[in-house]
Chains A and B, each alone.
Chain A
Amino acid sequence: MMVVSLMNESNVYLQDLSRGIIKENPVFRLLLGMCPVLGVTAFLINGLGMGIAATAVLVASNVVISALKNFIPNQVRIPCFIVVIATFVTIIEMVLQAFQPVLYEALGVFVPLIVVNCVILGRAEAFASRKPLFRSLIDGIGVGIGFTLALGLLALVREVAGQGTIMGPDPDSAIHLFGAGFEPMGLFGQPAGAFIALGLLLGIVNVLFKRFKIQ
């Protein structure tokens, strides 16, 4: 009995973790939090940095909101969630500014805009405010990984096609993938290319989901 209940328990956690990455991937399946997804993905480093910053806020706010869920009155829960999220965004903004000034400059106004990222408020409302603390933590990590993966994938496509490099824009770290004769497709570095690349990626994801019959 003991073993069975233990297995069931770890199964729940595994589900909490994987749901946000695949079945309910915030970007590819739910189309939430699209502004940073399109806005900062011209370079892989910026995309991943944004993903990690948003994940940190998401995990922290999920934990705090889940811990406070019995003390937050139902009528004013949304303002309460927003204040918790805004606090963590302020912390992340200060941390980035202090330790990653280059990344902070590159992400620009999208760092404070994490506060209106609907993925984070959505998880607070749909999950953290109802479920126990540890499950909310796992859920935050799962959704965060899913979000970061999506950002990384789109940024990889855009950087390779639009610049012909990986790990740019800093010339010291940039790795040129193609020879000197390579003409990058400037479109993918432009805003228009972000929309088109994401649209095509969504199509590919749809094909994969159909192929492997994931609902």
Chain B
Amino acid sequence: MERILSIIFIYILVDNFVLQRFFGICPFLGVSRKMETAIGMSMAVVFVMTMATLVTWILYTFVLAPYNLEYLQIVTFILVIASLVQLVETTLRKISPILYQGLGIFLPLITTNCAIMAVALLAVRENFAFGEAVVFGLAASLGFSLALVIMAGIRERLELAKVPEVLQGSAITLITAGILSLAFLGFRGMLTL
């Protein structure tokens, strides 16, 4: 139980996937312009990331590892993630059209979110047990969401600020992310696994 709780705490705050580990920077910069889209993206990522960790962990432990097929890891994982995204998209459209409409374009975009692939790979590399792997996926995605939502809040304010012309756009966004990352640095070393 203690280990599970520390995994949650570490991957949301201490080792935040976006701000400390640099996974999922593309969506972090791309969809953080508005709070609404940021929340939509976060929901989609939480869902897919947790599912992806679950499926890839099972696949790796019970199929790839016993038959010494570890070298197929990259190909298998990316195909699992791509088809999972497709599956989630189709299912959501049938079961919950409202949620589907809310997530909209963000679902297909998730395939190229490197945070998902990173979670799947790290869950195997760190030798997590099944329950830990799933919690790890959930915590990492919550950390991603936290960073994204905070960033969206800042950027909505930033629209109104006077920024030097050459720094406008992505440059100031990156510098803002740097300062945000600096704030998260305060959690460094609080807890390790």
Q: How many residues of B contact A (CB 8 A)?
A: 42
Query: In this complex, which of B25, B29, B116, B173 has the most chain A Cβ atoms within 10 angstroms of its Cβ?
Result: B25
Chain A interface secondary structure, helix, strand, loop or mixed?
helix
Structural contact, A202 and B170, CB atoms closer than 8 A: yes
Would you call A132 an interface residue if the criterion is a C-beta within 8 Å of the partner chain's C-beta atoms? no
Beyond A35-B24, A38-B22, whether A109 also contacts B174 by CB under 8 A is: no
A200: Cβ under 8 A from any B Cβ: yes
- Do A39 and B74 touch (CB < 8 A)? no
Contact B112 A118 (CB under 8 A): yes
Residue in A35, A87, A193 whose CB lies within 8 Å of B25: A35
- The reply on B21 being an interface residue by CB < 8 A is yes
Shortest distance from the beta carbon of A57 to any chain B beta carbon, whole Å? 11
Partner of B170, one of A31, A39, A83, A89: A31
Give A196 to B183 CA distance when docked, in angstroms: 13
Question: Closest Cβ of chain B: how far from A115's Cβ, in Å?
Answer: 5
Name which residue of chain B comes closest to A32, CB basis: B26
Tell me the interface secondary structure of chain B in the complex. Answer: helix
Contacts of B71 in A (CB 8 A): 90, 94
Known contacts A116-B112, A117-B114; is A86 also within 8 Å of B23 by CB? no
A116 & B19 in contact (Cβ 8 Å cutoff): no
| Minimum CB distance partner of B182 in chain A | A192
B191 contacts A by Cβ under 8 Å: no
Contact between chains at B113 and A195 (CB < 8 Å): no
Contact segment of B49-57, B75-83, B94-102: B75-83
Within the complex, the shortest CB–CB distance from A201 to chain B, in Å, comes to: 8
- In the complex, the answer to whether B78 meets A34 with C-beta atoms within 8 Å is no
Contact B22 A191 (CB under 8 A): yes
Stretch of A98-106, A169-177, A203-211 contacting B (4+ beta carbons < 8 Å): A203-211
B74–A206 touching, CB < 8 Å: no
A79 interface hit (Cβ, 8 Å): yes
In angstroms, Cα B183 to Cα A17, docked, is: 41
Pairwise interchain contact B74-A195, C-beta atoms closer than 8 A: no
Find chain A residues with CB under 8 A from B170 CB: 31, 199, 202
Find the residue from B29, B75, B174, B177 having the highest chain A CB count within 10 A: B174
* A116 in contact with B113 given A39-B22, A86-B74, A86-B78 (CB within 8 Å): yes
Task: Choose one: A79, A191, A199; the contact of B173 (CB below 8 Å).
Answer: A199
Most buried by A among B71, B79, B112: B112
B172 within 8 A of A: yes
Q: Are B174 and A196 in contact (CB under 8 A)?
A: yes
Q: How far is the CB of A126 from chain B (nearest CB, A)?
A: 14
A194 touches B121 (CB 8 A): no
- Which of A33, A87, A89, A116 has most B Cβ within 10 Å? A116
Note all chain A residues with C-beta closer than 8 A to B25: 34-35, 38
A151 on interface, CB distance cutoff 8 Å: no
The B140-193 residues at the A interface (CB cut-off 8 A) are 164, 166-167, 170-175, 177-179, 181-182, 185
B73 at the interface (CB under 8 A from A): yes
Interface residues of A (CB under 8 A from B): 31-35, 38-39, 78-79, 82-83, 86-87, 89-90, 93-94, 109, 112-113, 115-118, 121, 187, 190-196, 198-200, 202-203, 206-207, 210
> 10 tightest A-B contacts by CB?
A195-B178, A199-B174, A196-B178, A199-B175, A39-B22, A192-B181, A202-B171, A34-B25, A192-B182, A116-B114
